[in-house]
Every structure is written in C-alpha cells, then in structure tokens.
Structure 1
C-alpha cells in the first residue's frame, strides 16, 4: 500500500506535502487532519481500517513533517490558516469526508463552518467543546515548556498526561519525535496553545452553529482531557451530532490497544457508511445519536 505523494501549492501561500492512498473501487475520499506536533505517520493505525473502504488523504501542516522544507517559517500560522488549507485540500482531492484527531478538530470545525459543498460527514476524535480542569492544567504547563524550548519537558509531559494510556513502545516513539522537533515548531505550538488558553469556552460551539454536515464525536472512556461529557456540549449547536465512547481507552484511542482499535473502527465505518438522512438507516450499535434542532 504505497501512496501517491505530491506537494500541493495552496494559492502561492503554502506548500503542503500530501499522501494519497487510492483504493480500487472506493467511491468516497476522506482527508485526515493531525493534532498538534504530529505528522502523517501518526495516522498509521487509522489508515489500516479506512483503507480500502475509502481513498485516504494524509498531509503535513506547513510547519511540520515533510511540508517543512517547502515553506518559510517566519511566523506562526493560525487555526484559521489551517482551516483555509483544509478547505483547499478538500477541493483539490474532491473529498466527501474528513476525520480529525485531537486539536486537528479545531481546524475541522472552523472549516466546516464555511459549509464546504463537498463534505458529507465528519468524524472528530478526542476533541471537546471547552477546556476542562485537566486539559487547562496540561496546556498551562505545556506552554511553559514550549516557551523555553524544553524538549525533555514537553516530551515527558505528553507521555504522563494525554499519552499515559499508550503502550510503552508508542510512548518512546512519541518522546523521540517531540524532542527532535525544530525550534519553529515549538514556537508554532506555543502560539497555538496561548491562543487556546485565551479563548472563550464557547468559541468552538459558536463555530458549530453554522455546520450543516453530520458529525461523529469519538472520545475515550478514560480520557479526562477531552471527555465525552464535554463533547456532548455540541448538542443543540451542530445540526446533527452522533457520539461514541470507546471503552477502556484514553486520548489516543486506536493506538492504545487492539480492542480500542476495533471499537474505533466500528464506530467510524458505521457512521461513514450509514445511509444519508432521509434514507433507511441501518442499525449502527456503536453510535449514540442525538437529534438536532433545525
């Protein structure tokens, strides 16, 4: 399973490294949106269950991974910039679906608020509507390490907080990845985290008010940082929401153990492959639908 790779020019502003996994017979294309400090490699487990049901697009943000050599890094980019990039990639690859992990959900919500005509459904994993106590404490400690470019500090913080349920092998991989990042990547994340800490808790709920596409929120039962209860605050904002809680899983869901991978697979494929509204709905036992007003 080798992808077609390309560097996509986003209207002369950004050069984005992409990987396109073409699945023979697939009728839909899905774009995956990374969380903070991540690259295309972080979606290895997710790719395993989306392909060959869908054509799959992975990409690196301008400041990260294999996009890094193709861009200038003279200023941090905003979540609005990331949403703009996503909207352009949706058109470029003619994608019908989008899936995000962790803070990648922020870019997805901002992009979907523009009601891109192609997007039919979106899956948002490990994201919630506001900063609860544990997440705020994690980010407040993280912004100090990022400001000091303390590589060991931020690597250890991730593994003892949001990554604490990961197997030891993944923790070692995460740590090696994080401590190897360039200074501009730390500056980028410092800017982003500082912005998040200063935002009103209703910021992403307000974005959801404009979203027409059905959303599936997937959260881990053991994830105290982006928990299901906080994700459910999107009820009454987005037009149609579904929720799935992955038992015995933390923030990293399908990376943590086989049962969590299978449950995430079932929830994601069940949602994406279900008939559209107005058609006969097949039973999808992993989902907990919430009817929306409007």
Structure 2
C-alpha cells in the first residue's frame, strides 16, 4: 500500500479545478464523488474518506466549475444539456489523472452526471451509486426549487453558502434555479441514454425526497442493462448520505465490496 495524495488546483480543459485525490490502494478502483447543485468538496464532510477506507478503494472528489475552490462559471446561463457537458468534463478529468477503474458516487445533479458518464464513456466506469439522481423533470422538483428560491430571499441561505463558495454563490444559485425552472428545460430527459449503461448500479432515494419521486428510481433501473439494486429509505429527504448516514454508508460499502 502506498500513500499518494493530491489536494490542489489542477487545470482541466483550461479551467482551474480543485481536486482531492487519495491514491492509497494499488490495483483498486477509485470512487469518484460528484456533488449536487449547491455542493462542493467540503460539504461531503468525512463521508468520502470513510467510504474509501472501509472499501479499500482510492478516492477522488472535486469542485465542479463554479463551485467551492474551482474557477467561477463564465455565466449563470446554462444550456439545456449542461449535465451532459459535465459528463464530458469528468471524462477529461479521469483521463488527465489516469483513472481507469472508476466507481461513480453522484448526489442529485452528480447522480445524473454519473449516469450520463457511464452511458457515454463506459470503458472507465466500473459501477455507479446514484443518490437522488434525476433523469427527467418532475413537478415536485420544480416545487422544491421554488421553495428554495423563496428561502434564498427570506433567510440567510446565501450567507451560509458563501462559507463554501465565496462570491460565486449568486451565480451558482441562479444557474441551478433559472435553468431548471425555464420553459426549455421542462423537456430535458436522459432516459434514452440509460440503455447504454451496462455496469452495476445502486440507486439510493429518500422516500420523502422533496425534489423527486420514486419514478426517478424505478424508470432508471428498468432501463439500464447492468445489474441493479435500490435502497429507498422511509421518512428521508433529498440527502440520504447526511440524513440517514449510517444506512447509506453501509449499503454503499456492501455494494462496492461486491462489485470491486
């Protein structure tokens, strides 16, 4: 076993991206953690490191463009296919870091990115853990976003997010909310890609998820071609790895142990 750690800004596609890469276990897969619409490396807390150590897998976690310590987005206006573009960017990052055996753990937006990446770039992807991913737009998703927009106006949400994103908060919040609530985005759907996924998949969802129904889970596992498992946790919302940390951790650890 060796310890090789990168925790620094690297350039990918001429963009400065903050990366933490722990390559500790030779010959073992690397778990890639993909954060949600308002997330970053820091907001994962100790979940990635604990899972890496428990499964004896390497670990890569990074701030997507616009988030955390990475470069700002050039504009908050996103194209409808921005998640597909994020998957393309992730593939470039994996090539640059020479990660050939990736297990993707994606939360919300990150889960959608994981699915798209596995569909478009299957050679590097060994398995996927999707947590509260979206494959199409639902009314419950839009209601949840409108509630978040109201909270942003009436509470100190922006101030709390600024601890992690600095002066990039308004841009990332608009990028999330204005994209998803736009008329163009209502037709966004990646179900057509799912048949290209042949690796094992674990889909984790809170039964009380304020941003998505169980249709997201069931329609995903019914369309992919790899082996599938699902964990639906009662009374839990959009972030099972925080709200039901132990249950999510154990299910993920068992899944990774089987597929690695």
> Shorter-chain TM-score: what band?
0.7 to 0.9
Distance change (3 Å), C-alpha of 1:138 and 1:49: same
User: Number of aligned pairs?
Assistant: 250
| 1:117 alignment counterpart | 123
Structure 2: state its 5+ residue gaps: none
Matched, 1:264 2:251: no
Matched, 1:223 2:224: no
Provide the secondary structure at the position in 2 that maps to 1:65.
coil
Which of 64, 86, 91 aligns to 1:82? It is 86
Is contact 2:127–2:259 with CA below 8 Å preserved after alignment?
A: no
Deviation at 1:188, TM superposition (A): 2.3
Matched, 1:51 2:52: yes
Matched, 1:92 2:93: no
Deviations 1:4-25 (A, max 9, x none): 213232233x221101123346
Q: Distance in 2 between matches of 1:208 and 1:219?
A: 18
Give the 5 Å matches for 1:272-283: 272-275=256-259
Is contact 2:200–2:259 with CA below 8 Å preserved after alignment?
A: no
Q: Distance in 2 between matches of 1:200 and 1:244?
A: 27
| 1:60 alignment counterpart | 63
Is contact 2:127–2:200 with CA below 8 Å preserved after alignment?
A: yes
Deviation at 1:100, TM superposition (A): 0.4
Q: Distance in 2 between matches of 1:18 and 1:125?
A: 21
Q: Distance in 2 between matches of 1:228 and 1:190?
A: 22
Q: Distance in 2 between matches of 1:196 and 1:217?
A: 28
Q: Distance in 2 between matches of 1:15 and 1:179?
A: 16
Deviation at 1:251, TM superposition (A): 1.4
Provide the secondary structure at the position in 2 that maps to 1:106.
helix
**Structure 1 length as normaliser, TM-score?**
0.72
Deviations 1:116-141 (A, max 9, x none): 31111010101244333322212245
Deviation at 1:62, TM superposition (A): 1.4
Q: Distance in 1 between matches of 2:190 and 2:8?
A: 32
Find the structure with the greater CA-based Rg. 1
RMSD of aligned residue pairs (Cα, Å): 3.2
Structure 1: state its 5+ residue gaps: 159-171, 277-294
Provide the secondary structure at the position in 2 that maps to 1:199.
helix
Provide the secondary structure at the position in 2 that maps to 1:187.
helix
| 1:4 alignment counterpart | 6
**Structure 2 length as normaliser, TM-score?**
0.81
Provide the secondary structure at the position in 1 that maps to 2:39.
coil
Deviation at 1:47, TM superposition (A): 1.4
Q: Distance in 1 between matches of 2:145 and 2:221?
A: 25
Provide the secondary structure at the position in 2 that maps to 1:271.
helix
Provide the secondary structure at the position in 2 that maps to 1:239.
coil
